[in-house]
Amino acid sequence: MSTLIEEEIEVRKGPWTTEEDTLLTHYIGRHGVGPWNMLAKCAGLKRSGKSCRLRWLNYLNPDIKRGNLTLQEQQLILQLHSLWGNRWSKIAEHLPGRTDNEIKNYWRTRVQNKQPSSSSLKEMSSQFSVPCQLPECIVPSGSVINISEQIEFPQHETSPNAYAHTCVDNNNLVLNGSYNIGRSGQDMEAFRLASMSAVGEGCWICNEMTDSLWQCRELGEMGN
């Protein structure tokens, strides 16, 4: 018999053992996922419900895809991050078999460290007014990811002549010249009109931003 305090002390932390993994997997296999705190106790695990949930969702769940992210997945992450920022769980919804933790780790280790911070990107986008054209990148032809069909966002048709380039402003993304997608449709439209009035129709961005746009060209070449 143990007191509450003793039980709290007994809560294990740190890396999971294979025995713990087995216990959790077998329990969920028999009973399914339920209230995690109760599940942890019933499964005989000296872990918090939170820890069990994380272990299952990020590691033990058989639906999880193993191995490196594919090029398309990487591109999708970049695009979705442009749309939503650090809303990893939302991004993960559009990458079946990938977890928010995995995407978050990918972003922090392989994308964020190789580019200026998003805030500096924002600063750059507001500071530089001399435009140059953004090379077509991020979504190579033939690997179009039709985000606009998957995600509910305010949509604004652009003129038929809009370029099929992709560019980033300080919170938003223009995809394929067909839709303006962003957290704020009005903001996006304002940005688009402002940029178009300044430099003509299309998407434009400064050299420095081009260089820093997540090595998107390199990313594109990886798939070739």
- Applying CB under 7 A, the residues found at the interface with DNA are 12-16, 34-37, 47, 49-51, 53-55, 58-59, 68, 86-90, 100-102, 104-106, 108-110, 113
Closer Cβ to DNA, 13 or 30, answer by number: 13
| Nearest residue (CB) to DNA, 74 versus 176 | 74
Q: How far is the CB of 218 from DNA (least distance, A)?
A: 13
Cβ neighbors of 16 (< 8 A, separation 6 or more) are 55, 59
CA–CA separation, 9 vs 106, rounded Å? Answer: 34
Report helix, strand or coil for 48: coil
CB of 170 to DNA, least distance (A): 16
- Name the CA radius of gyration of the chain, rounded: 22
Distances (CA, A) of 102 to 4, 61, 96, 193, 214: 34, 13, 12, 37, 18
SS3 sequence, 167-211?
A: EECCCCEEECCCEEECCCHHHHHHHHHHHHHHHCCCCEECHHHHH
Residue 90 CB, nearest approach to DNA (Å): 6
Whichever of 68 and 159 has its CB closer to DNA, that residue is 68
Q: Is 94 helix (H, G, I), strand (E, B) or coil?
A: coil
For the CB of residue 105, give the shortest distance to DNA in the complex, in Å: 4
What's the closest the beta carbon of residue 206 comes to DNA, in angstroms? 26
